[in-house]
């Protein structure tokens, strides 16, 4: 009896200790969830501007019921579409508290955890068609592990579905997504794979089909006020069928790469799109790369400008230019000029078009600065007065292959239903290349025309030769006539 009493006492003691521990862990898990929601909203505001905080995009904890061994949470992602209509996606999240959550043990996970979460999407007005297509089953489920260090590991599954509504026919091939993030939300990895998505609009006959989507992103914070984001994605194919029998557009291996470094409010970023092969009907337009970049871009000033513009647009509608008061126009101007205080650089570089006959490229870089002197006086100055002060330097580089240009012109004609003859491309290239060369604006090297033009401090350098702005404009106009 004494031994039984001892054993029973130990069991009761362990049960009391574990119950108290689970209650404490549940309290800490709630703090982690609420902090993660706050950080998500802060990041959204940093990317999308102040509008994210007032309804454009927001994560909301609708309800948090914490029990001893588990908690039930209703979590919503609320946003407004381009048409201004509100929509939300709501998740029901069941968390089993650690240190050894029962649902994790059943899943074969025996390491101590702060919480083990099982989530599923629940119906809302925006998602009801998905549930109807799956006969009431949830189209999205997730399992999430929260470690005591704060590390969050989440795995999401999206079920295939097919449905029709007033907006069109949808066929979705399902998919998978994983998210790993540390406790403070500053470092994380995201990846997703989605086999297919097809949208058909019966009223117009338009059709959009996407195959083989892969997305990857990494976020890191090397310092307290710094962050780095590296993202990339690829679509194996994209097919667009316009309305009224227009030629179908087919793109193979459409990829994007985005890199950014932000310190404080200053952002350096590059974005590049690679379109592996573009076809329009029977025409083959080759491949296109489009790159862009910005350095020293003040995200707070950009958000302030966007917020000011959105407020005026909401007040005056599409007739913004003629409806603003002088005070409103001046306020918008001041926000735009404030964006120039950080001396940003904007670039379209590279832009490369390739086909079977060769390639052509284009690059443009703009170094900008705020006007000197009194800010209010600068705001009232005219466009012609401000432009030389704002544009500190312009670099323009061009390279056009004659065979490539002729082939591109022939394929463009073919895509619009015209004969794919080289005659038009040959005439255009030879005529304008000759005029530009005669004015000294381009140089010919075999079958390639090149130009290197720089504007700085009121002067223009064209292919190594200095000239005034007026001379350059006159030569450009003479070449176009």
User: What are phi and psi for residue 239, nearest 5 degrees?
Assistant: -120, 125
Q: How confident is the model at residue 102 (pLDDT cuts 50, 70, 90)?
A: low
Domain of residue 440, residue span: 263-481
* pLDDT recorded at residue 381: 56
Assign 3-state DSSP to the chain and report helix, strand, coil percentages, each to 5. Answer: 30, 45, 25
User: Rounded mean pLDDT of 49-57?
Assistant: 52
Residues 38 and 87 in one domain: yes
Whether 109 and 226 map to the same domain: the answer is no
41 inside domain: yes
Is the domain of 444 the same as that of 295?
yes
Domain count of the fold of the chain? 3
- Residue 300 scores a pLDDT above 80: yes
3-class SS of residue 425 = helix
Q: What is the pLDDT of residues 215-260, one digit of tens each?
A: 999 989 888 788 899 999 999 999 999 876 678 999 999 999 999 9
Domain termination site, one of 125, 157, 189: 157
252 lies in some domain: no
pLDDT of residue 15: 38
Q: What is the Cα 383 distance to its own chain's centre? A: 32
Helix (H) or strand (E) holding 69: none
* CB-based contact 178:155 (threshold 8 Å): yes
CB 157 within 8 A of CB 142: yes
* C-alpha pair distances (Å), 245 with each of 237, 271, 285, 410: 21, 34, 20, 21
Q: Cβ distance 401 to 448 under 8 Å? A: yes
Instruction: Answer whether residue 424 is part of any domain.
Output: yes
Query: In this predicted structure, what is the pLDDT of residue 7?
Result: 37
pLDDT of residue 437: 94
Domain co-membership, 108 together with 180 = no
Q: What pLDDT, in 10s, does the model give residues 330-350? A: 888 889 889 999 999 999 988
Measured distance CA(93)–CA(71) in Å, rounded? 8
Task: State which of 157, 179, 210 marks the end of a domain.
Answer: 157
> Of 90, 122, 157, which residue sits at a domain end?
157
Apex 87 CA angle, 83 and 88, nearest 5: 155
Tally of residues, the chain: 481
Question: What is residue 457's three-state secondary structure?
Answer: coil
407/453 Cα distance (integer angstroms): 27
257 part of a folded domain: no
pLDDT, position 307: 84
Same domain for 180 and 141, yes or no, is no
Phi, psi torsion values for 18, nearest 5 degrees? -65, -40
Q: Which two structure tokens, joined as six digits, stand for 357? A: 């006959």
Same domain flag for 153 and 165: no
Q: Span 106-121, mean pLDDT?
A: 76
Asked if residue 406 and residue 312 are part of one domain, the reply reads: yes
User: Quick check: is 254 in a domain?
Assistant: no
Mean pLDDT for 3-30 is: 45
* 41 pLDDT above the threshold of 70: no
Same domain, 39 and 101: yes
Higher pLDDT, 183 or 461: 461
Same domain, 317 and 240: no
In a domain, 39, yes or no: yes
Residue 67: alpha-carbon gap to chain centroid = 39
| Alpha-carbon span 153 to 122, nearest angstrom | 22
SS3 465: strand
Q: Does 377 score more than 70 pLDDT?
A: no
> What is the pLDDT at residue 137?
94
Instruction: From 293, 305, 234, select the one nearest 260 (Cα to Cα).
Output: 293
33-37 long-range Cβ contacts below 8 angstroms, 24+ apart: 33/61, 33/64, 33/73, 33/95, 34/61, 34/64, 35/185, 36/152, 36/181, 36/185, 37/61, 37/75
Taking CA atoms, 139 is separated from 120, 172, 201, 276, in Å, by 8, 11, 22, 33
The more confidently predicted of residues 213 and 1 is 213
Write down the mean pLDDT value for the chain: 83
Residues 114 and 194 placed together within one structural domain of the fold: no
- Residue of 361, 341, 359 lying closest to 351 (CA atoms): 361
pLDDT, one tens digit per residue, over 395-423 is 999 999 999 999 999 999 998 888 889 99
Q: Are residues 42 and 181 in the same domain?
A: no
Position 280 in a domain: yes
Span 445-458, mean pLDDT? 94
DSSP classification of residue 246: P
Using alpha carbons only, what angle is made at residue 291 by residues 289 and 293, rounded to the nearest 5 degrees? 175
Q: What pLDDT does residue 17 have?
A: 39
Is a pLDDT exceeding 60 seen at residue 193? Answer: yes
- Among 375, 149, 181, 410, CA closest to 280: 410
H, E, C per residue of 85-128:
CEEEEEEEEEEEECCCCHHHHHCCCCCCCCEEEEEEEECCCCCH
Regarding whether 203 and 143 lie in a shared domain, the answer is: no
In a domain, 251, yes or no: no
pTM: 0.83
| Cα 66 from chain centroid (whole Å) | 36
């Amino acid at each position: 009896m004494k031994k039984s009493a001892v054993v029973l006492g130990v069991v009761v003691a362990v049960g009391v200790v574990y119950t108290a521990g689970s209650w404490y862990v549940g309290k800490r898990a709630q703090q982690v969830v609420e902090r993660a929601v706050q950080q998500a909203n802060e990041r959204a505001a940093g990317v999308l501007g102040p509008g994210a905080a007032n309804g454009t995009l927001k994560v909301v904890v609708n309800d948090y019921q914490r029990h001893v061994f588990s908690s039930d949470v209703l979590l919503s992602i609320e946003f407004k579409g381009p048409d201004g209509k509100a929509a939300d996606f709501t998740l029901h999240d069941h968390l089993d508290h650690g240190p050894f959550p029962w649902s994790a043990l059943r899943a074969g996970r025996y390491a101590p955890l702060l919480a083990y979460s099982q989530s599923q999407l629940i119906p809302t007005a925006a998602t009801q068609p998905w549930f109807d297509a799956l006969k009431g089953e949830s189209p999205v489920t997730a399992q999430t592990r929260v470690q005591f260090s704060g590390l969050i590991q989440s795995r999401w599954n999206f079920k295939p579905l097919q449905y029709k509504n007033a907006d069109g026919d949808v066929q979705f091939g399902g998919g998978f997504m994983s998210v790993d993030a540390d406790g403070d939300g500053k470092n994380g990895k995201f990846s997703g794979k989605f086999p297919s998505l097809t949208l058909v609009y019966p009223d117009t006959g338009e059709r959009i089909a996407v195959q083989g989507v892969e997305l990857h992103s990494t976020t890191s914070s090397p310092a307290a006020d710094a962050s780095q984001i590296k993202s990339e994605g690829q679509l194996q194919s994209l097919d667009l069928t316009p309305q009224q029998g227009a030629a179908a557009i087919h793109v193979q291996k459409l990829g994007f790469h985005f890199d950014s470094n932000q310190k404080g409010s200053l952002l350096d970023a590059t974005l590049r799109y690679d379109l592996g092969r573009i076809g329009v009907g029977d025409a083959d337009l080759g491949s296109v790369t489009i790159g862009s970049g910005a350095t020293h871009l003040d995200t707070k000033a950009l958000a302030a400008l966007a917020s000011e513009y959105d407020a005026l647009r909401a007040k005056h509608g599409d007739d913004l230019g003629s409806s603003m008061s002088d005070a409103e126009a001046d306020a918008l101007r001041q926000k735009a000029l404030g964006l120039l205080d950080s001396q940003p650089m904007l670039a379209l570089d590279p832009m490369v078009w390739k086909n079977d006959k060769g390639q052509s490229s284009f690059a443009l870089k703009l170094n900008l600065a705020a006007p000197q002197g009194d800010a209010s006086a600068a705001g009232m100055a005219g466009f012609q007065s401000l432009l030389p002060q704002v544009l500190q330097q312009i670099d323009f580089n061009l390279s056009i292959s004659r065979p490539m240009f002729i082939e591109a012109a022939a394929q463009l004609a073919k895509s619009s239903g015209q004969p794919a003859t080289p005659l038009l491309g040959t005439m255009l290239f030879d005529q304008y290349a000759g005029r530009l060369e005669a004015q000294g604006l381009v140089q010919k090297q075999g079958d390639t025309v090149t130009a290197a033009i720089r504007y700085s401090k009121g002067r223009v350098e064209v292919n190594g030769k200095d000239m005034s702005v007026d001379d350059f404009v006159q030569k450009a106009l003479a070449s176009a006539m």
